[in-house]
Structure 1
Amino acid sequence: MLTERQQTILGVFLQNPSVTLNVGDLLPHIEVGRTTLFRDLTVMVGIGLLLPDAPTRARTYRLNPSSAVYLRWDLSRPPQQRLPVSYNPKLLDDYQPNQTFLLSATQRAELMQVGNIAGSGKPELGKNYTRLIATLLIDLAHASSNLENVPISWLDTKTLLEFGERPDGLDETQLRIVLNHKAAINHLTTHAGDMHLSRWDLSDLHSLIADGLIAETAAIGRLRSWVVRFSDSRYLPPDNPYLLNEAFEEFCRKGSAIADPYEQAFFSMTFIPYLQPFQDGNKRTSRLAMNIPLLKNCLAPFSFTDLRKRDYMFGLLAFYERGQHAFLAEAFVAAYRQTAPRYAELLGYVQGGGVLGTLT
């Protein structure tokens, strides 16, 4: 935690992040002596915010471009103020299943602790799990549609999907987005036990999520053969169909080999949007696909209900343009920490105890 004075110092650096400053440059902005200012700068170097250029008091300092503060400043600028960033194959190539981890051991342990809602050795709950999760995942249809800028409430989502009652204020495209979630989630909850992070299963999910939303119907459920670009990012996904096919096959091979269900889920959450394998609907496909390993293992699903859109989009942006996954990982863990206990309560299981009641 920075002191108020250190925050002021940081603000001076952020006014022009590319320049280096020394103590003399900072003194007009900070009403303290040189020694106190030097101590503050030393603290900021120690926590990784600043980089020094020499081990003396005459040193100059610059912002650390890898620090969280710098990245948040950098990626909050308008896209046109950032340089284009091409797809980096090393992010996927260097990932080795069960040796490389995007989630820390602490994060994976916490996720398993809060997400193991069925409890081991409780077959009576397992019998109800699939049917109940199919109902609970109404949350996913609502939250995922909201992330696509569909202005629909949770209650309207429920009445639309369960009773076919169309809410006011949705155009045909928005309505189709919500209804496609229903079809895709029904498929997911029915077949998750037999699904994998395979080309076949991911293509099936995309076919359902993109039905009627892509003009080129031949592109639905198939890898794209043309370039995609973003309006809110300078990231350039792979644009060579042959290389995209190779990368997607590598993603499926490595993703399927991951043993930890949460690591597998997060791997899908990050790399499907990064590859952009389909013409459109990649983030929607990833939001469903990441639930495959969770459902297969009778764990609490990730419904995106408690994930703020800003944190989600920033996390993806940091991965797209800087190859940094930590922001999205932190947002994922924080949201799951809030969501999973509610599923445990609805399932009738208290993690530290037993069954609250018999599900019917």
Structure 2
Amino acid sequence: MTSKRQDIILNYLKQQGPTSRENLEQHLLLLGQSVSKVTLLRDLNKLVSAALVEKSGTGRATKYALSFHSAQTHPIDVADYFSRDADDRELRSEQFNFGVFQELHHLLTAEELEELDALNAIFRVRKAKLSPRLLQKEFERLTVELAWKSSKIEGCSYNVLEVERLLKENISAAGKAAEETQMVMNHKKALDYVLKQPDYYKEITVAKIEEIHTLLTAGLGVERGIRSGMVGIVGTNYRPLDNKFQIREALERLATLLNETTNAIERALLAVLMISYIQPFEDGNKRTSRILGNSILLADDYCPLSYRSVNEIEYKKGIILFYEQNNISYFKQLFLEQFRHAASKHF
């Protein structure tokens, strides 16, 4: 995360364009932020390392500017952003932005990649030490927690113990709607399908995404395949594509982007965000995105996510922020927190 002073620097660069260290120093002074040359250079170097700022020139001709990816990665004050009603927020685009495919690259910093890969290496060592029976039990625990939290994000009222009983004993909880029970069961079927053939998801295709969606929405009255009509989203004025051919084009471009992205965690992050953004199906899009993300992680022997500790409201805020600003900062923070949690608590 960036500091308050670094946020001021980023906002100034966003408004003024490329500028010198001296101009930044004067701007901070006007705001009551007296800062030494060494401290300011340290801030600027950190922003450059985080790929938020680009540095050009040498000596007195040195200039600093927002990086190409800064609009996507620059942290946003989420509390302030969502203190405004949906109609009062200025969106980058109210409609699907095809240009986002050119922008979503290198979303994780070198430091983040190093940390996450180190965590995953420890996860692999722990997993390798488990007996086949204990490994099976860990995947069963993951399935219960993922089915519970993923369904809860979508409004399901099952608690985690009720989900465990349903998946292990096939006993539904009293007073629950049949649709809720089916939603939970479908998560298990989809994850079981992925776990049986993890290598299948080393390459992503539109057909494979549709297969996951079909498993997750079976018995729920959801039309199979890519939708042909408009969908609205609660809490935002963002409007997804409504043309079936454009939706398929967006999915095909997403598959290409995923297959070209080398790091599994970044691929999974992209999958979860972009399936939610494209909204290719009549319903079940976010559920599909979470299972697809895990299929990508499992295919490269990375720890899958249960999302068990994520706050549902904050999760939705992160997704909406991407809808409205194509900014990944808050959702990326939540996603990486869930990876760290999963890699340390599972297996």
- TM-score, normalised with respect to structure 1: 0.71
Does the CA contact (< 8 Å) of 1:91 and 1:323 recur in 2? Answer: yes
Residues 157-187 of structure 1, C-alpha deviation per residue, up to 9 Å, x if partnerless?
1110011111123111111111111111111
Structure 1 position 206 matched with structure 2 position 213: yes
Structure 1 position 342 matched with structure 2 position 332: no
- Looking at secondary structure, tell me which structure has more helix per residue: 2
CA distance in 1, matches of 2:90, 2:242: 18
Worse-matched range after superposition: 279-288 or 38-47: 38-47
Provide the aligned length of Structure 1 versus Structure 2.
286
Q: Name the SS of the counterpart of 1:236 in structure 2.
A: coil
CA distance 1:128–1:103, change in 2 (3 Å): farther
Structure 1 position 333 matched with structure 2 position 336: yes
Q: 2:100 aligns with which of 86, 91, 100?
A: 91
Structure 1 position 77 matched with structure 2 position 84: yes
Residues 63-99 of structure 1, C-alpha deviation per residue, up to 9 Å, x if partnerless?
xx9974555423342223335611111111344xxxx
Identity of aligned residues (%): 25
What is the aligned partner in structure 2 of residue 197 from structure 1?
204
Alignment of 1:24-39 (within 5 A): none
| One-letter amino acid matched to 2:124 | G
What is the aligned partner in structure 1 of residue 300 from structure 2?
297
| One-letter amino acid matched to 2:108 | L
Following TM superposition, by how much is the alpha carbon of 1:340 offset from its aligned partner in structure 2, in angstroms?
Answer: 1.4
CA distance in 2, matches of 1:76, 1:197: 38
Q: 1:110 aligns with which of 102, 109, 115?
A: 115
Root-mean-square deviation (CA, aligned residues, Å) is 3.0
- 5+ unaligned residues in a row in structure 2: which ranges? 6-27, 45-70
What is the aligned partner in structure 2 of residue 157 from structure 1?
163
Q: 2:253 aligns with which of 250, 254, 257?
A: 250
Residues 280-302 of structure 1, C-alpha deviation per residue, up to 9 Å, x if partnerless?
10000000000112112222111
Residues 43-68 of structure 1, C-alpha deviation per residue, up to 9 Å, x if partnerless?
399899xxxxxxxxxxxxxxxx9974
Following TM superposition, by how much is the alpha carbon of 1:39 offset from its aligned partner in structure 2, in angstroms?
Answer: 5.1
CA distance in 2, matches of 1:290, 1:278: 17
Following TM superposition, by how much is the alpha carbon of 1:141 offset from its aligned partner in structure 2, in angstroms?
Answer: 0.7
CA distance in 2, matches of 1:296, 1:202: 14
Q: Name the SS of the counterpart of 2:197 in structure 1.
A: helix
- 5+ unaligned residues in a row in structure 1: which ranges? 4-37, 49-64, 348-360
What is the aligned partner in structure 1 of residue 13 from structure 2?
none
Does the CA contact (< 8 Å) of 2:123 and 2:344 recur in 1? Answer: no
CA distance 1:111–1:281, change in 2 (3 Å): same
Does the CA contact (< 8 Å) of 2:76 and 2:329 recur in 1? Answer: no
